[in-house]
A and B are shown apart, each in its own frame.
Chain A
Amino acid sequence: MTMKNYCWALIDAINEEMARDPDVFLAGEDVAAAGGAFGGSRGLLAAHGPLRVRDTPISEEVIVGLGVGAAMTGKRPIVEIMFMDFFGLCMDQIVNQAAKMHYLYQGAFKMPMVIRTMTAVEMGIGPHHSQSLEAWVGHVPGLKVVMPSTPRDAKGLMKSAIRDDNPVVFIENLALHKIKEDIEDEEFLIPLGKADIKRAGRDVTVVATGLMVHKALAAAEILSQEGIEIEVIDPRTISPLDVDTIVASVRKTNRALVVTSAHKPFGLASEVAAQIMDHAFYDLDVPVARLTPPFTPQPFGKGFEAFLHPDKASIVAAVRELMA
């Protein structure tokens, strides 16, 4: 076991996969010489050389396009879009090109590519660097979408994403970059599409993603002292969503709360609620609750984030309400 932070766990994952498979390469803004705008690719240039770890121009559409064409012709690219807020500049390549190639041409092309990106939600960097836009890509057939909340998950999921033959949007969370965890030294993979029960409990199922997983776990400590045991489930993969694990939990607890950094309308919280309705409606004692930021852009000034985003206290309050 070695203590690793989330950022280094990701670097290790990419480093191991690049060593294992010469077809894997990494391209993006400042990924090579600088080792990543946030240090997310330190050491990779030295380890794998300038062709396989390459700085690109600030051209998001062609960065993703580079990955699309390379994947179609036998490579396993990892292309980096520094912040997910920049997806507006490359959505055509993601949605119309990467996502549809395998389908349209009936499997003639595999699309083994990872679009590595980041949400910097609650990092105080304003409306163009703070969004949690996983619904944009979760809505598109052909894409897989991963959003890990712990260092070990980040590593195991990144390795699986690189080995997957589909385009995978891998959303890392800047707010979690420095959290640490003991990770085994032996190789391991975490399968895409598999949720993880981060804390077992009998009373309320709390489905949370990214940063919210940690807030939910903190809330669980407080609630536990009141005798309320919540079960915290991190889907880890947004698409395909592990509905089975969520539904099995709700069948046991009969109550569910979904907590996300993304908005309610058309988002993951709504999707999870609908899935629970579809599969466990008669097991519910109360309607599924959703706890998300209100439907506004993210303003910059200090205090706005704390005001807008769910936190330990609001999760505790939402759970108490479900138990009332």
Chain B
Amino acid sequence: MSPRKQTAGAKTPVGPVRTVEPGHIFQMYRKMLEIRECEDQLNTAFSKNLFPGYIHSYLGQEACAVGVCSALRDDDYIVTTHRGRGHYLAKGMALTPMICEMFGKANGICGGRGGEMHAADPALGILGGNGIVGGGIPYATGAAYSAVLNGSDQVAVAFFGEGASNQGSFHEAMNLAAAWNLPLLFVCENNLYAEMTPFSASSRQVDVARRAEGYGIPGEVVDGNDVLAVYAAAEAAVARARSGAGPTLLELKTYRYGGHFQGDPCHYRTREEEAEWRARDPLIRLHAHILSQNLSSESELDSWREDQKAQVAAAIEVALSSPDPDPNEALSFVYAS
């Protein structure tokens, strides 16, 4: 079956003409570089069998996490998925403990309990990843409701894939958030495939954003490979939520370069389609934008890449030389005392 071609969003190099401070653009670019380097080097390490488990790569989707999280404050909440590294980093999680967790090490952010699909940091509002597709969306409502009860203007974001949008949990949460007018953003990263299944085979309506209509809330399709477009959409949705106008569903059309997991042969999609999406690479587009606007120089951007490369390499080195957890630790923290 040849996968149905889906809307990719604007072909323009980078999104809507609006003024974003160059400093903010640089931060986004550096964050995207950090995620890109992290995913690249983890793939390499994984293919050398340097750590166990799976790796659900975020390569190609960097603009989604970075665009949305750039519109958030530290005290806003995010809930993510099995493919969450981009979100963790974009929300400010430190690289080294996150990578050590992937390696299952004692100094990983979960002490080696979580592995690839789990990480959290309450101080940064990062409320965890998930091994259950759609498992995080319901509890994002609770974080948003805490903000309501506290009378604060914090918002919560639930990140999930288009596959998860077929779970009941998504629909229940959308409906409750809409009925209760919760400060909650539903951010669907539609990378076109859930494992090996194209979305067109599991949903008649291939624009997840259209589902918002059924719940009476705004829904918007955004070019998920255009970080400035994602940022603009997220900023508007966050502003609505903070002002008490309730939830929004954003659908970010994007693509994962790797397979569902590292080693997936990707027989379910064409090499042409992959090449098309590579041509819309979110980093290349922002890079081009920065240069075309004379915001920075090629050599400076290169130096940032080298810098991120070195930081990721150093974090992997730390992970490789870190101790495994003490197995006795498995018995602790079952209950809070």
Which A residues have a C-beta under 8 Å from some C-beta of B? 23, 25, 51-52, 54, 56-57, 59, 61-62, 64-75, 77, 92-93, 96-97, 101-111, 141-142, 144, 165-166
B128 contacts A74, C-beta separation under 8 Å: no
Which B residues have a C-beta under 8 Å from some C-beta of A? 77, 79, 110-111, 113-114, 118, 120-122, 127-128, 130-132, 135-150, 156, 168-169, 172-173, 175-176, 179-180, 332-337
Beyond contacts A62-B138, A62-B172, A69-B140: 5 other A-B pairs, Cβ-Cβ < 8 A, are A65-B169, A70-B142, A72-B128, A74-B146, A142-B335
A68 contacts B122, C-beta separation under 8 Å: no
For residue B337, which residues in chain A have a CB less than 8 angstroms away from its CB? Answer: 165
B138 contacts A61, C-beta separation under 8 Å: yes
For residue A107, which residues in chain B have a CB less than 8 angstroms away from its CB? Answer: 333, 336
**Contact count A vs B, C-beta below 8 Å:** 141
A66 contacts B113, C-beta separation under 8 Å: no
A70 contacts B143, C-beta separation under 8 Å: yes
The one of B127, B147, B149, B333 in contact with A72, judged by C-beta atoms closer than 8 angstroms, is B127
Task: Knowing A102-B335, A105-B110, say if A96 contacts B148 (CB, 8 Å).
Answer: no
For residue A108, which residues in chain B have a CB less than 8 angstroms away from its CB? Answer: 120-122
A69 contacts B122, C-beta separation under 8 Å: no
For residue A166, which residues in chain B have a CB less than 8 angstroms away from its CB? Answer: 335-336
Q: How far is the CB of B325 from chain A (nearest CB, A)?
A: 11
Whole-angstrom CA separation of A54 from B182 in the bound complex:
14
The one of B122, B173, B176, B335 in contact with A109, judged by C-beta atoms closer than 8 angstroms, is B122
A104 contacts B113, C-beta separation under 8 Å: yes
For residue B127, which residues in chain A have a CB less than 8 angstroms away from its CB? Answer: 69, 72-73, 109
Q: How far is the CB of A12 from chain B (nearest CB, A)?
A: 23
B145 contacts A70, C-beta separation under 8 Å: yes
The one of B120, B130, B136, B175 in contact with A57, judged by C-beta atoms closer than 8 angstroms, is B175
For residue A56, which residues in chain B have a CB less than 8 angstroms away from its CB? Answer: 176
B146 contacts A59, C-beta separation under 8 Å: no
Q: How far is the CB of B117 from chain A (nearest CB, A)?
A: 10
A62 contacts B131, C-beta separation under 8 Å: no
The one of A73, A103, A105 in contact with B142, judged by C-beta atoms closer than 8 angstroms, is A73
Of B139, B156, B172, B179, chain A has the most CB atoms within 10 Å of the CB of B139
Task: Knowing A61-B138, A106-B110, say if A69 contacts B156 (CB, 8 Å).
Answer: yes
Q: How far is the CB of B265 from chain A (nearest CB, A)?
A: 30
A96 contacts B140, C-beta separation under 8 Å: no
Whole-angstrom CA separation of A142 from B331 in the bound complex:
11
For residue A109, which residues in chain B have a CB less than 8 angstroms away from its CB? Answer: 120, 122, 127
Q: How far is the CB of B297 from chain A (nearest CB, A)?
A: 42
Of B128, B130, B168, chain A has the most CB atoms within 10 Å of the CB of B128
For residue B132, which residues in chain A have a CB less than 8 angstroms away from its CB? Answer: 92, 96-97
The one of B114, B120, B121, B175 in contact with A59, judged by C-beta atoms closer than 8 angstroms, is B175
By Cβ-Cβ distance, the 9 closest A-B pairs, closest first, are A69-B142, A65-B138, A69-B139, A59-B172, A70-B142, A62-B172, A165-B336, A73-B146, A68-B139
A65 contacts B173, C-beta separation under 8 Å: yes
B176 contacts A77, C-beta separation under 8 Å: no
For residue A62, which residues in chain B have a CB less than 8 angstroms away from its CB? Answer: 138, 141, 169, 172-173, 175-176
Whole-angstrom CA separation of A258 from B199 in the bound complex:
52
The one of B143, B168, B180, B333 in contact with A69, judged by C-beta atoms closer than 8 angstroms, is B143
Q: How far is the CB of B79 from chain A (nearest CB, A)?
A: 7
B148 contacts A51, C-beta separation under 8 Å: yes
B135 contacts A106, C-beta separation under 8 Å: no
Q: How far is the CB of A99 from chain B (nearest CB, A)?
A: 9
Of B114, B135, B146, B169, chain A has the most CB atoms within 10 Å of the CB of B146
Q: How far is the CB of B279 from chain A (nearest CB, A)?
A: 39
The one of A51, A66, A75, A106 in contact with B141, judged by C-beta atoms closer than 8 angstroms, is A66
B149 contacts A104, C-beta separation under 8 Å: no
Residue of B nearest to A68 (CB): B139
B336 contacts A102, C-beta separation under 8 Å: yes
Q: How far is the CB of A57 from chain B (nearest CB, A)?
A: 6
Q: How far is the CB of B71 from chain A (nearest CB, A)?
A: 20
Q: How far is the CB of B61 from chain A (nearest CB, A)?
A: 24
Q: How far is the CB of A63 from chain B (nearest CB, A)?
A: 8
Whole-angstrom CA separation of A106 from B128 in the bound complex:
12
For residue A59, which residues in chain B have a CB less than 8 angstroms away from its CB? Answer: 172, 175-176
For residue A142, which residues in chain B have a CB less than 8 angstroms away from its CB? Answer: 334-335
B110 contacts A72, C-beta separation under 8 Å: no
A73 contacts B176, C-beta separation under 8 Å: no
For residue B332, which residues in chain A have a CB less than 8 angstroms away from its CB? Answer: 106
Task: Knowing A66-B138, A67-B142, A72-B139, say if A61 contacts B172 (CB, 8 Å).
Answer: yes
A96 contacts B175, C-beta separation under 8 Å: no
Q: How far is the CB of A75 from chain B (nearest CB, A)?
A: 5
Q: How far is the CB of A179 from chain B (nearest CB, A)?
A: 31
